[in-house]
Amino acid sequence: MEEVKEIIAKLEPHKLPIVKIQPLPRKAENIWSSKFGGKPYWLKGKHLPKNKEGNDLYLLAQINFEEVPPLSGFPNKGILQFFIENDDLYGMDFDRPIKEIITSPDGYRVIYHEEIIQTLSDLEQKLPEANSDSLLPLTNEYALSFKLEEELPSPTDYRFDGIAGDIYDYDDDVAEYIYDNFVSVGSKLGGYANFTQDDPRRENKHEKWLLLFQLDSEWEGEIEIMWGDLGVGNFFIREEDFKNGDFTKIWYNWDCS
């Protein structure tokens, strides 16, 4: 289709590098290893993230950057952790303004450990973790593998319209092809975000929120990750904070169909 070729030509200059993340049907090798779910790497004497009611938040994902292919702008060492609340909203806050949520999050946290201590006696062992009774997108621990790739802008990402036009103006067969081939599904670091509804950043374009981490639903073989009804979870960071390596003001969102 000639129109598809023209659209791809517009998208090509806007390719972004990403690290695709594949969960594996086994537990991580060490407590400081990259993983989805399981017990977090945590130093003794530090307090785990809690919600306003004093309940512990649960580890959703842990990325050890020593195990990750180099990706522009991301750390090359340390551990980045994503915690959420064990409730039926997965820690999402629908009642407060975004600016208030990111400065004082309740149902989620993002924690960066610049240095990794690998002395087990210095690390906390008795920690909460997802299990079969949890109200979480995952109930098991999965080791991770990583692969450096590139991706074109996704039609679900708010930036797509400014690059290639409104997809709803395309012919049906063209729009279907674009959705089938360029929606940025899967778990990853960086790149363009996927949504089952709409990109919430559309109302905050001036702040340039970038995708930091995406955890997608996956239900195949021994892997069971499910955000509601085949949804997806995203963590966004302001461009300026990303450049400065500041992970203290993260915007968390998930949606499902």
- Hey, where are the domains in the chain? 2-255
Closest by alpha carbon to 56, among 83, 35, 76? Answer: 83
pLDDT reported for residue 151: 95
Instruction: Please tell me whether the overall predicted TM-score, pTM, comes out greater than 0.85 for this model.
Output: yes
The superfamily (CATH) of domain 2-255 is YwqG-like (2.30.320.10)
Confidence of residue 257 (pLDDT cuts 50, 70, 90): confident
Tell me how long the chain is.
257
Helix (H) or strand (E) holding 222: none
Condensed to tens digits (0 to 9), the pLDDT of residues 188-204 reads 999 999 999 989 998 87
179: tokens are 């959705």
Condensed to tens digits (0 to 9), the pLDDT of residues 124-165 reads 988 999 888 889 999 999 999 999 999 999 999 999 999 998
Closest by alpha carbon to 253, among 158, 180, 179? Answer: 158
